Every structure is written in structure tokens, then in C-alpha cells.
Structure 1
Amino acid sequence: MTTKETFTLHGENLLKKVKELIAEGNIRKITITDKENKELMSFPLTFGVVGAIFAPVLAAVGALAALIGECSITVEREQE
């Protein structure tokens, strides 16, 4: 069973929040949308996959954060 949760924040906090969510470990997918709800980026997360594999994703999120103002992150969590 999965649940969805949405966070609204400004671009400068985007990378920090994505890192926090990845560290939680029970995330299935992260979707980033702009204030008009246009999807900017979406990526699935697989259990047990960490480290170097996320470096390109985090670099892309960092670049996106520099370009956008307000955005939303929708997180799909795996419930046990």
C-alpha cells in the first residue's frame, strides 16, 4: 500500500528536502512540480539503492532548485 504526501517549498530548500526524504528510506517515488502543477522532474526510488547512484539525480535537483521559485514535492511512501 502506498500513500502520497505533498510539500510546498521554495527552490533554495528543494535539494535539502529531497536528501532528507531519500534518507528516510520508505520512499517509492518523488515528483517535483512548479506552482502551476506542471511536472518538472520525477524519479522512482528503489529500496537499498543509495550513494553514488543518486549523485546525478541530486545534481539535477540542485540545478533545478537554482532555476525555480516555489515548487511542490509529491512523495509516494510505501506503508508496511
Structure 2
Amino acid sequence: MSLENFAEEIQVLGRDLVDRVKALIHEGNVNRIIIKDEKGNTFVEIPVTVAAVGAVLAPVLAAVGAISALVAKFKIVIERAQPKTAEEQEKSQSQHP
């Protein structure tokens, strides 16, 4: 089964940032979390496979907590991988023999 990457973007207030990032990490189907300000400037990129290890998670969340005090609103870009449907796999294979 092949996977297809896609991204979604959500907006959160600074006070909700840490809780939202924790929830995303625990979802399990997230590959990367990118935290940006309203202008699109990237503050931090978190590869979730690495962040899932407990020893790495604490400093990452501390950094997220620190930046949440700097800006009122954030955008979180969530990169996920989902299985391709059979139709998408056939279409992909027919385009690339």
C-alpha cells in the first residue's frame, strides 16, 4: 500500500498552542508539525516521529510554550500521510510506467 502526503492548516491562539501540539503528537497519523505566525514566518518544525520519543518531547514542548508567549495567533501546518485509494494507485501507475 502506498501513502500520499497532504497538509492541512489550522489557526490557534497562543494560549492554546501547546495543548494543540500535544494533541496532534498523540494522534499518531501526523508526520510533521510546522508552527508559523500569521505572516507565514516559520518558528519551528517538529518531525513527529522524533517527537514521539518521550525524552525529545519535553524540550520541544518547552520551546513551543516559549514561542506561544511571543505571538497572539499562530498557524499550525499539519503534514499527514494517508493510504492512496486503489483508483489513485492505478492512476499513478498508469502515468509512470
Answer yes or no: same fold by TM over 0.5: yes
- 4+ residue stretches of structure 1 with deviation over 6 A? none
Whole-angstrom distance in 2 between the partners of 1:15 and 1:54? 12
Give identity over the alignment, percent.
Answer: 41
Tell me the CA shift for residue 48 of structure 1.
8.9
How many pairs align?
80
Q: CA RMSD in A?
A: 1.6
Q: Which runs of 5+ in 2 are unaligned?
A: 84-97
1:52 aligned onto 2:55: yes
User: What's the secondary structure of 1:67's corresponding residue?
Assistant: coil
Contact 2:25 2:51 in 1 (8 A): no
Q: Which runs of 5+ in 1 are unaligned?
A: none
* Greater relative contact order (Cα < 8 A, sep 6+): 1
1:32 aligned onto 2:35: yes
Whole-angstrom distance in 2 between the partners of 1:45 and 1:24? 10
Report the structure, 1 or 2, having the larger helix content: 2
TM, length-normalised to structure 2: 0.76
Whole-angstrom distance in 2 between the partners of 1:2 and 1:29? 11
